[in-house]
Structure formats: structure tokens, C-alpha cells
Structure 1
Amino acid sequence: MNIRIPPSIQKGCTIGVTAPSFGCTTEPYISRFKCAKTQLESAGYKISAGETVFKSDGKGISTDPRTAARELEEFYCSGSNSAVISAGGGELMCETAGFIDFEKIAAAPAKWFMGYSDNTNFIFPLVTKCGVAAIYGPTITGFGKKWQETELYSIGLLEGKIKETSGFEKFQLPENDNSSTEKIEEQTYCLTEKKIIRLFPQENEQVHFSGILLGGCLDVLANLCGTHLDCMKEFNKNSGPVIWILESCDGNPAEIRRQIWHLKSADWFENAAGFLVGRPLASLGKTLFGIDQYNAVTDILADLEVPIVMDADIGHVDPVVPIAMGLQAEVSADRRNFKIQYDRR
């Protein structure tokens, strides 16, 4: 499949911010949005925020899903914005996605959209239905702190300057996530836990695989499977090998196992070249009925006989590596770290 890669953004360009999921209407998100706007403007960009960013009259999203869908379409298709960053994650962006005119999106000039978690509802069909690459990375409030590797990688992908990314030495426990609004521009990640990559099959000391990067939040992907936004059957016919990027937000170990089973049974993984799986937020270090964050995935995928890299810096446990979904890439990993090398040709 010929995936369109959006043009790189330049200093002086306008970045649109819209809220197809949650907006920025409570703390610390109000303060983080203000800080992010200031820092992005200091980096040379203009910020144009939509009305939905400041709304909170919706159920599980910023506002009425039709309104949220129209603003996302407007911001994506407008010639005034060079890129779009989502205001936040959330719970029910599936309702917004149900009202998005993806034919209109596909006909528009390609531009970078960035967000993660609930934003899988737009990013995944943007790649598989519209054939346009998108970045699975921070929402706007993620830039409302001191910029570290995550934020610098993300800006680098938007600017077309990043051809290779790799994971980090340590990670932050979810309970250490700072929600304070004091000296917000100086806040950094609290990195206390040493990362250890798990490779499957376990006899592997290192792995290499290549293909199109695709995936997102399992909570969302399992929900999209079988709907009118599910284009995986056609995508698999035309895509070639796929590197699956998977991570979980709310799922317990049993739910993750059900979700992996669901997608595999729907033949989503028939072109899988390998899997890069992030640390799960709710299931981190948890066991339920003998199921943990590892066998929830590996038991179901074992018969595909492809590499599985787990505990990668992707998803809801910071710090994370942003992923340019839809791009061709090569993944290499050992038990200490992983690396993604992009092919932008």
C-alpha cells in the first residue's frame, strides 16, 4: 500500500490543536496546555486552538461528537494548519470517529496528526483507510513540561529530522506521575525503574524485523475491530509485512489476552513481521488467574512464529518513544533496548 508521508513542518508554521477526545479544562491540563503553547511558540511555531479544547460538556469526550468530528475535519483539511496535535486522550473518541468523513480526510493534502491512547480512533483509520502516516505520540499537554527525549523525538518527527529512535534506560512508575502545577516548565520524569526488554521466543538474544509500523492502544483497536472503520482485510492485501505496535491502558491481564485473541481471530495479524509491545498501565506487574502482561500476549501469538519485543517504551508508562505509524521501518532489539530505523524514501 502506498502510504503518503506528510510534509515536514517548518519554523513559523501553525500547529492546530483540537479535542476529538478530552479537552484541557481541568488541572493540571489547563496549566500544561498554557505551558505547552508558550514553549512551542518559543520554538518558533504558532498555535491555533479550536473551541473544543476548552469544552467539557460532552460525555467521555470534550463535547458533542458531531461537533468534535467537524472541528477535527476542519483543522486537518484547513490550509492554515501545517500539523494537528490532539488536546488529550480520553474514553469515547470512538463516537467522534463515527462521524468523521474519512473520504474528505483522504482527499485532503496529507499533514501530520499526533496523539495517542484514545486518538488511536483517528490514527489507525488514517493509516489503514486513508493511506496517510500519523504520529502516535504526545498530546499537546505532553509538551507542557521540561522537554526531554520524548518531546524532542516528537518534534524531530514532525520536522522530518529524525530517522532513528531508541528506548530509554529507565522508566517512571505510574504513581510517580507529577500532577502538580508548580514550576510546571521545570518538571521532568521521575525515572526510578531500570528497563529490561523481554524477547520472545525467550531463546532469542536479539531480533531484527522490518515492515510498516501500525497499531496503537489495544483498548481502542479491539473496539474498532469489525466496525465500518476496520479496513484491515483490504490493508493486509496490499501492505506487505506489518510491524505491530501495541500497548494497553485500562485492560487487566485477562482483558489484554481477550483483546489479542480477538484481533488475531479477525486475521489482523496475518502479515505480522513482529510485535513491539509497550508496558501496560493498568496491568503493570499484575497477575490474574495465572495471566500476566507477558503470557497474555505471547501465548496467543506464539504460533505466528515472529519476534515479540515486550516492555518497550511505548504507550502510557513514561517516558515513551513516539511512533510514525504508516512508515516503513526496521526494528532491532536485545535485552537492554530497542531501536527503530525509519525508511522515508
Structure 2
Amino acid sequence: MLKFPAPLRPGDRIGVTSPSAGVHGGEADRIDFCVTWLREAGFDVVVGNQMDGTGITAGPAADRAAELTAMLCDPAIRCVIPPWGGETAIDLLDLLDWDALAAAEPTWLVGFSDLSTILVPLTTRLGWATVHGDNLADTPYEVPEGLLSWLDVAAGVGPHVQHDSGVIADWWRFEEDVRATSWKPGGEGHWTLHGAESLHLTGRLIGGCVETMCNIAGTPYGDVAAFGREHASDGLIVYVEAAGDEAATICRNLHGLRLAGWFDHARAVLVGRTHAPDHPQLTQREAVLDALGRLGIPIVFDVEIGHVPPHLPLVNGALATVTVGADSREIRQLLR
């Protein structure tokens, strides 16, 4: 059974911890600014102890797992968000106290990139809805017309309606502007549809970063096939996005997800924009089609859900309706 955390309101407490990469040097100025920004928006923000950015992770896996578990189980904390992603959040999955989490009321967990490694298991194992959206470092950026912030999405059951923004942006480097709230202009781009003339369908959302999802597929922490069977009456809308691996690697990883049953109950696939490199003989789009084209279901390319900002927040577990036609490119989410 799916469980949606209570709507997030100003005055609620937000916990900041680093399940993966921590904060070091000049990065700390950006995170300090983002914490202040959330406080000025009316939230009570507490920052954990697992924030050290001098190594590849913010601390020993057991310590990171304990702090994340404690924050997610603390009834006073209504949302947890990391500063950003990282590389090896997978090392704490079997160290989280899953029994304690199962007994707790659900808490919002928000983020993307390496945090996908934790978002998906919380949804597939516990039924907790989780938000694939901005990390803390991105949260102060202004939201382009047509999109919503993750704060808006977590604030109520919806329907939360978002449209193709047409915007491709970029981050400001911290040394350029540590207090940036407007995206660096990057260009224009739009969703494109493969496998159908138009699209209008509904399903439960699940997905994340390809490079992290491929490592938990087929394990108890990434059993999307079982999640799909559980929600077979609704069907799934699976979303994927490539962080930075070249196209041949992404192709292999997507085949791995397919063989692990990730798309067995999928009615459509959403694919995020990427700046990840092509292979000399295979583009990123061709990599997706090589692995997923044989599914015979619609694929929507170039959605704002990945490592190319801005970000369109998606709620794992939400009932979503995707519409793509001549005059409409829209996703509508109901948190129920």
C-alpha cells in the first residue's frame, strides 16, 4: 500500500544530511546560503553531523545510514534533503534500519542523482512516496513557467500539473555566484515522442538515474518488477535519466533494467535530457531505443528530469497522467 507523507507546510522541520557526498571548502558557502533560503521561506532547518566532504562520502556508511534513519523516523522532521548527490549511496542500503522505517510514519525524502539509490527502495519496499526533484543546492533556483518546485509538489495531494517548459539551463559555478537563484541560460528544447502519434495515459511513477538504478535492479532494493505487479491495475510510468556515462554504457545499463523486469508493467517511459557523451557509433537516443524500443510502448524524450536543469519534480508512487500531442505536453500527478 502506498503511503504519502503529510503535506509540507511553512514552519515544518526539514533535515539536511549527506547520504552520499558531503560538503567541502567553497561548497559550504552555497549550502549555507540554501539553508538560510529555506529558513527565510519559513521552514525550520536542522543540519546533521554527516556532512563532511573531504572524502568520497560524508562519513562511514554506518554513520550515514544511522543519521538518515534517525531523521526519517523523527516525527518532528517532515522532510529530508541532501546537499547534492555523489557516488556511492549504495553502500548504506543494507545498513538502514528498515524495521524502524516500516514502523514510522512516512517522511518526505527529496533529491536526485545518487539519491535515486535510496528514493526507489523507500517506495518499492515500504510504499513511501518520495520526490525525485532538486537537491538542496538547487532548491533556491527560480522555477520556469510550466514547472513546479518540489516544495509545491510536497505541499498537497494535487493534482500537480506541469508542462514542457521549453527551457534548457545550466548551473552557476559556486565561484561565479554562490547565491544564484536564477538559472544560467542554456537554450531551448522540447519533449519529443517516439512510438506513437500522440499520448494520453495514466500510471504510477517510478524511476531515477540510470547509472545508480542499474546497480540495485534485481536486488531487494530495486525490485521494480514486484512493484509493478503490486500496482498492475494502475500500470507504471517509468522514468530514467543518464548522468554522465557514454551511450554504450547507458545502453547496457538500460538492457539490464529491462532484463530485471523494470518495464514489465510500464505503459510509457520518460527519458530525461542529458549532456552525457555519445559513443562514436551510438548516440544517447539510439542507446535508449536499442534497449527499450523493443518494448513497443511510447517513449517521451527530453523531459526535464535529470542532470540538465531545470527540474520537473516527479513523485515516486504518484498516479500520473502524461499527455503529449500537437498542442499539449503535460504531466499531471495525484498524490494518492
TM-score, length-normalised on structure 1?
0.90
In structure 1, distance between residues paired with 2:44 and 2:263: 40
- 1:220-250, Cα deviation, whole Å (9 max, x unpaired): 1101123332323422221121100100112
Shift of 1:161: 6.8
Pairing 1:169–2:150 present: no
Residue type at the aligned position of 1:38: T
Pairing 1:328–2:331 present: no
The structure 2 residue matched to 1:113, chosen from 109, 113, 120, is: 109
Equivalent positions of 1:24-35 (< 5 A) are 24-27=23-26, 29-35=27-33
In structure 1, distance between residues paired with 2:119 and 2:90: 12
The structure 2 residue matched to 1:154, chosen from 150, 153, 164, is: 150
Residues 334, 232 of structure 1: CA spacing in aligned structure 2 closer, same or farther, 3 A cutoff? same
Pairing 1:79–2:75 present: yes
Shift of 1:216: 0.3
Shift of 1:24: 2.1
In structure 2, distance between residues paired with 1:328 and 1:250: 29
SS in 1 for 2:214: helix
The structure 2 residue matched to 1:70, chosen from 60, 63, 66, is: 66
Residues 195, 77 of structure 1: CA spacing in aligned structure 2 closer, same or farther, 3 A cutoff? same
Structure 1 unmatched runs, 5+ = none
Residues 228, 30 of structure 1: CA spacing in aligned structure 2 closer, same or farther, 3 A cutoff? same
Q: Which residue of 2 aligns with 1:294?
A: 285
Cα pair 1:32 1:142 within 8 Å, conserved: no
Q: Which residue of 2 aligns with 1:254?
A: 248
Residue type at the aligned position of 1:208: H
Q: Which residue of 2 aligns with 1:16?
A: 15
Residues 190, 336 of structure 1: CA spacing in aligned structure 2 closer, same or farther, 3 A cutoff? farther
Shift of 1:192: 3.3
The structure 2 residue matched to 1:96, chosen from 72, 92, 96, is: 92
Cα pair 1:200 1:298 within 8 Å, conserved: no
In structure 1, distance between residues paired with 2:167 and 2:296: 29
Q: Which residue of 2 aligns with 1:313?
A: 304
- 1:23-58, Cα deviation, whole Å (9 max, x unpaired): 22232x3122111111111111110000112x1354
- 1:248-295, Cα deviation, whole Å (9 max, x unpaired): 112110011101111111222110110010012323xx3x24211111
Moved more, 294-303 or 38-47: 294-303
- 1:41-97, Cα deviation, whole Å (9 max, x unpaired): 1111110000112x1354x21110110000000000012211111222000110022
In structure 1, distance between residues paired with 2:144 and 2:80: 20
Cα pair 2:237 2:268 within 8 Å, conserved: yes
Pairing 1:276–2:270 present: yes
Shift of 1:304: 1.7
Moved more, 212-221 or 91-100: 91-100
Residues 298, 183 of structure 1: CA spacing in aligned structure 2 closer, same or farther, 3 A cutoff? closer
Residue type at the aligned position of 1:210: T
Q: Which residue of 2 aligns with 1:125?
A: 121
Identity over aligned pairs, percent: 27
Moved more, 65-74 or 227-236: 227-236
In structure 2, distance between residues paired with 1:52 and 1:244: 32
Shift of 1:182: 5.4
The structure 2 residue matched to 1:37, chosen from 29, 32, 35, is: 35
- 1:161-189, Cα deviation, whole Å (9 max, x unpaired): 752122311202xxx53113455434421
In structure 2, distance between residues paired with 1:152 and 1:274: 22
Residues 45, 209 of structure 1: CA spacing in aligned structure 2 closer, same or farther, 3 A cutoff? same
